[in-house]
Amino acid sequence: MSIPFHLYLPIAGNSVNMLVILALGGGVGLLSGIFGVGGGFLMTPLLIMIGIPPTVAAATDSNQIVGASTSGTLAHFRLGNVDFKMGMLLLVGGVIGGTGGVQIIKILKQLGNADFLINLTYVLMLGIIGSYMFAESLQSMRKPQRDVSTPREKKESLYGLVVRSLPWQMDFKRSGVRVSLLMPLVLGILVGILAAIMGVGGGFIMVPVMVYLLRMPMHVVVGTSLFQILFTCVNVTIMQAWRNHTVDFVLALVLLIGSSIGAQVGAKLGKKLRGDQLKILLASLVLVVMFKMLYELLARPEVLLAYVGGH
Amino acid sequence: MKTLYFFLLLALGLLTVSNAAAQDAARLTVEPAAISIGALYNGITLTAAGSIPEDSEAIVRFIGATCDLHMKERGKVGGVVWMNLDSITFKGAPSVCLVSSAADFNGLEANGGVSVKLLRLSGLKGAIQVEANGGGHENAVEEFLKLKRKEGLYKELVGNISYESAVEGQKRFRAQVPIPSRLAPGSYMVELAAVRNGEVVARAEQPVDAALVGFPAMLAALAFEHSALYGILATIIALLAGLAIGLIFQSKGAH
């Protein structure tokens, strides 16, 4: 039985059931609020599945992430989980990296192997990040809980020594870390390049980078990631609407209503979960998406044709 | 006297021919004459009605304008992974093709003649041209038809045409054609073919325009004619909506 409440989307050129869109937005927004990821890597394939053209799905998703991450950032800001200084530095790096990544994609497209490399990057990145986070979280969950007030002294790793020896060290009070100015800038550039190649906001790469390489606490990571994603998606939305006419605002607004509410619930739910619980849930999600993509790469497609524009 | 007989026979002949021509005529009306795509549009049922010779079958096609479609062919790389490979362009493919009949198409085709085959989706194979580099694109059109069927834009419908009893060699028909929700604004054509023994004996057609109206029309005009402004507005509204929802939750949390 179909629920008779449809809305025609003029840019997507299709009619959709509003309740389905609200549910999709709510589900992905919930994950966004819990984990601090924009949800682009989940939402875009889901929109394509319900008949939205791939280019419109990706661009519209950026538009709705603007709203969802605004709502999520606000919620995390109130909880004291946004490190603006770190977020701004990552953002500057992300913009530089994103611009470079767009040029890399242009060169790859000229060489004719862009799609293969995009998909391979997806599977490798998701596989590496997901497996590492899953194993690490599982290990920390199995360990007996130690008294947090008396942390055990650990021998400093080579990575730690290199990071400490970098110039322009500064304090990031909200995150409780002291690292070189270069660290968030360079990591932001690397994530920006990968995000541009993969055509996503980069939240699911940025979160592990902040946790493992910048050693920020998980709850601050989530808020700061949302803050950074907000600005990335503002840029993408305006560019896509202006250059490609692929932003369907009606679809974005309906998704946004669902995802903003979902993000608020997610932020509250995330606060109730421990850091390692959050990490293992995100790792599982990343691995599920990786296996889905791997299956799509290996299984024979139903139709041996694809529209130009989708990955 | 012979001259009189000659004129009488001629008049009789002309009457017979004109009567036969009248019997082999097809008439078509379409309701609605234009499709309005408003905010709540979710496809409509288009009614094509008219008359055809009593010993023929009606085939009604709702067909869109042809355009070039640029796509990617998917193939196996290294014998392991499926990827988008060669660029391919399909020319002369209609945007929509819905073919309706009261009787099974295979049955109509089995009566002989090639006209029915040309009216069916399989008949598009000859009309669609493929442009691609190199060889190995033999199944491209078949895959294209499969994709369009999956999208619901190409369809063969059986049993959605009903008939009334014949009067003076003509029978009235009524076709209920479900127009998909995934319909782009543009010009479409409803084509009627009266088929006897697998051959078309009469044709008629009516144009149908589909146009955006109301809010979708306004939004599409803004998106395509003032795209930068549209992008900025979309961003601002998304920001404000996100803030508003955030504040609603804050006030709820305060109580």
- In this predicted model, what pLDDT tens digit does every residue of B98-138 receive, in sequence order? 999 998 888 887 766 678 888 999 889 888 999 988 777 88
- Tell me how crowded residue A159 is: count the other CB atoms within 10 A of its CB: 11
Interface check A49 vs B, CB under 8 A? no
For the segment A203-207, the average pLDDT, to the nearest whole number, is 78
For B120-129, how does the pLDDT look when each residue is reduced to its tens digit (9 = 90+)? Answer: 998 898 889 9
- Give the B window 7-46 contacts with A, CB below 8 Å: 37-43
Q: Which of B40, B212, B239 sits opposite A10 (nearest CB)?
A: B212
pLDDT higher for B155 or A73? B155
Q: Which residue has the tokens 């929700």?
A: B181
Interface check A257 vs B, CB under 8 A? yes
pLDDT higher for B7 or A87? A87
- B208 CA to chain A: closest CA distance, Å? 18
Are the CB atoms for B22 and B167 separated by under 8 Å?
A: no
Predicted confidence at residue A310, as pLDDT, reads 44
What percentage of chain B reaches a pLDDT higher than 90? 54
- B154 CA to chain A: closest CA distance, Å? 15
Calculate the CA B97 to chain-centre distance. Answer: 3
- Give the B window 172-231 contacts with A, CB below 8 Å: 181-184, 212, 216-217, 219-220, 223-224, 227-228, 230-231
- A182 CA to chain B: closest CA distance, Å? 30
Predicted confidence at residue B255, as pLDDT, reads 33
Q: Which residues pair with B129 in a beta bridge?
A: B91
Predicted confidence at residue A110, as pLDDT, reads 64
Whether the predicted pLDDT of A142 surpasses 70? yes
Size of interface A-B (CB pairs under 8 A): 177
For B14-54, how does the pLDDT look when each residue is reduced to its tens digit (9 = 90+)? Answer: 545 455 555 678 999 999 999 999 999 999 999 999 999 99
For A221-254, how does the pLDDT look when each residue is reduced to its tens digit (9 = 90+)? Answer: 888 888 888 887 888 888 888 888 888 988 998 9
Whether the predicted pLDDT of B253 surpasses 70? no
Task: End-to-end CA distance of chain B: give it in Å, rounded.
Answer: 111
In one letter, which amino acid is A180?
S
Mean pLDDT across chain A: 80
Predicted confidence at residue B254, as pLDDT, reads 36
Predicted confidence at residue A13, as pLDDT, reads 87
For B43-90, how does the pLDDT look when each residue is reduced to its tens digit (9 = 90+)? Answer: 999 999 999 999 899 999 999 999 888 888 888 878 888 877 778 999
Q: Which of A15, A247, A256 sits opposite B241 (nearest CB)?
A: A256
Interface check B166 vs A, CB under 8 A? no
pLDDT category at B2 given cuts 50, 70, 90 is: low
Integer Cα distance of A58 and A179 in angstroms? 35
| Helical ranges in chain A per DSSP H | 18-35, 40-49, 54-78, 84-111, 114-142, 158-165, 182-198, 203-208, 218-239, 249-272, 275-298
Interface check B245 vs A, CB under 8 A? yes
Per DSSP (E only), the strands in B95-185 are: 97-101, 129-132, 154-158, 161-163, 170-179
Find the residue in B nearest to A306 (Cα): B72
